[in-house]
Amino acid sequence: MGNASVKRFTKEFTQQEPISEESIERAVEIMRTGKLHRYNVSAGEKGEAALLEEEFAAYMGAKYCLSCASCGMAMYLALKSVGVEPGDKILCNAYTLAPVPGAIHNAGAEIVLVEITDDYTIDLVDLEKKAADPDVKWFLISHMRGHLTDMDRLMEICEKHGLVLIEDCAHTMGAYWDGKKSGSFGKVGCFSTQTYKHMNSGEGGLLTTDDPDVIARAIIHSGSYMLYEKHTSRPGMEVFEKVKKLTPNYSSRMDNLRASLLRFQLRDLDNQCKRWNERYQVLEEGFNSIPGVTCPKRPEKETYVGSSIQFSLVGQNETTIRNFLAAALKRGVELKWFGDSEPVGFTSAYGSWKYFGNLPELKETNRVLAVMCDMRVPLTFDLDDCRLIVEILRDVAEETLS
C-alpha cells in the first residue's frame, strides 16, 4: 500500500464538545455574583450545588445526593460514611482506574482484588469465594469502562454474605441493568463529572444514597462545617445532631460554578447517552468484522453508555500488540493497552499499585488485560468518523496481526 492510499484519522481523541451557551451564561451569572462557594448564599436561597443535588437525586430516583470535588473523593467519602475503618478488607475488581484503589488506600483499608472475565467484568465465582471470608464485609465495585456484570447474581452474593456494596459509576452514568439504574443497587452510588465522563465540569463527583445516616456523615465529611442545614437533599436536622462532633471535615466540596455547568447537562444526559451508543454500535459492529479483533457481547439486560469501547486481540503476544498500537497511532487512532507493565496516562494495571505492598497475582485478570485495547469515543466524532476508524484498524490488523 503506497503512502497516498493510507487512511488517516485527524481528530483528537481528547476533544470534547463545547459547554452549551446556556451553561456558560449561567456560569457567568454566578461569577458576577461572586458567590462561588456553595454555602455563600442568602437566607432562603438555594445555591447551584444544592439545586444540582436535588436534580441528580431525582434523576437517579434516590433520596439524597451530595456533590463532591471528584468521583475519587465521592468514593472515599462513601467508604468513610458507611463505616470503613483502617485495616478493614474491601473487595474490588482488579480491572479499574487508579482513583478506586486510591480511595481504598486513603481510607486506610486493605484491598482484596477479584478476578475479571473475558467480558471485562468482575468474576462472580471468584467474588463469592472471596466474599466468604468472615473478615470481609465491604465491596467497592467499579463498573469499569461502562461494562455491567450480572447485577442480579451480584446482589444475591452481597445479600448471602452480608456485603455492603458501593458502586463506582464513573463510566455508567445513565446506564441500566434490567431497567434499574446503575448506582441504585448498592448502599451508595458514586459518579464522575470529570471532562472525559458523561457530564463535564472539568473535575467533580456526585454521591447518591437512600440512607439518612450515610448522607449526613458524607455531608459533614465533605466540608459542610456546621452549615449542613443549607443542603436541601438531606434528612432532618436531628440526624446530623447525632454525628456532627464525631465526623471529620475532609474539605472535598463541589462549588457553585461547576454545579451551574452540570445542571443544564443533566437535562440532556439521556439524549447524550443515545448519541454515544449510536457511535459505539458502528464501532462494535465494525471491530467484530475485523479478523483477530473481538468485542465481548453485551448482556441483554444491560443498557450501556458507549462512551468508550474495548476489544481484545486474542492470541497475540506483546510484540505484536505493541506493533498494532504503534501502527494505529501512526494513522491517528489512539488506543490504550491495559496489558502494559508500566502505567501510561490514565491507564494502569493492578501491578502498579505498589502502595498496597505485594498484591497476589491474578492469572485470569492478567490473561484478559494482556490482549485488551481501549479507545475513547468522544461525541465530537460523527458516524463517518467511526467508520473511518474501523477501516484504519482493519488495515492495521491486516498488516500487523499474525
Task: Kindly report the CATH number assigned to the domain that includes residue 45.
Answer: 3.40.640.10
Q: How far apart are CA 199 and CA 265, in angstroms?
A: 6
Residue with cell 463541589: 254
Which alpha helices (DSSP H) does 70-183 contain, by range? 71-82, 99-106, 124-131, 151-161
pLDDT digits (tens, 9 = 90+) for 375-386: 999 999 999 999
Same domain membership, residue 308 and residue 248:
no
Task: Report the chain's mean pLDDT, rounded to a whole number.
Answer: 96
In a domain, 52, yes or no: yes
pLDDT digits (tens, 9 = 90+) for 113-172: 999 999 999 999 999 999 999 999 999 999 999 999 999 999 999 999 999 999 999 999
In a domain, 11, yes or no: no
Strand partners, 179: none
**Residue 282 burial (C-beta neighbours within 10 Å; 0-12, 13-18, 19+):** buried
In a domain, 9, yes or no: no
Residue range 55-73: average pLDDT? 98
**Residue 132 burial (C-beta neighbours within 10 Å; 0-12, 13-18, 19+):** exposed
Q: How far apart are CA 24 and CA 311, in angstroms?
A: 37
Same domain membership, residue 174 and residue 102:
yes
In a domain, 7, yes or no: no
Same domain membership, residue 166 and residue 227:
yes
Q: What is the pLDDT of residue 1?
A: 42
pLDDT at 256 over 70: yes
Q: Which three cell numbers stand for residue 360?
A: 497476589
Same domain membership, residue 370 and residue 324:
yes
In a domain, 313, yes or no: yes
In a domain, 14, yes or no: no
Q: What is the pLDDT of residue 239?
A: 97
Q: Which three cell numbers stand for residue 339?
A: 496489558
More confident residue, 347 or 207: 207
State the residue range of the domain holding 299: 269-399
| End-of-domain residue from the set 218, 233, 264 | 264
Number of C-beta neighbours around residue 336 at 10 A: 18
Same domain membership, residue 274 and residue 237:
no
Q: Render 327-356 in DSSP notation, one character per residue.
A: HHHHTT---EETT-SS-BTTB--GGG-GGG
What is the residue type of 129?
A: K
- The total number of structural domains in the chain stands at 2
Q: What's the CATH code of the domain at 334?
A: 3.90.1150.10
Same domain membership, residue 309 and residue 180:
no
Same domain membership, residue 180 and residue 286:
no
In a domain, 173, yes or no: yes
Same domain membership, residue 284 and residue 152:
no
Q: What is the pLDDT of residue 340?
A: 83
pLDDT at 216 over 70: yes
Same domain membership, residue 324 and residue 343:
yes
Same domain membership, residue 325 and residue 220:
no
| End-of-domain residue from the set 264, 279, 294 | 264
Same domain membership, residue 214 and residue 71:
yes
Same domain membership, residue 243 and residue 170:
yes
pLDDT digits (tens, 9 = 90+) for 331-371: 999 999 988 877 777 777 888 899 999 899 999 999 999 99
Residue range 173-182: average pLDDT? 98
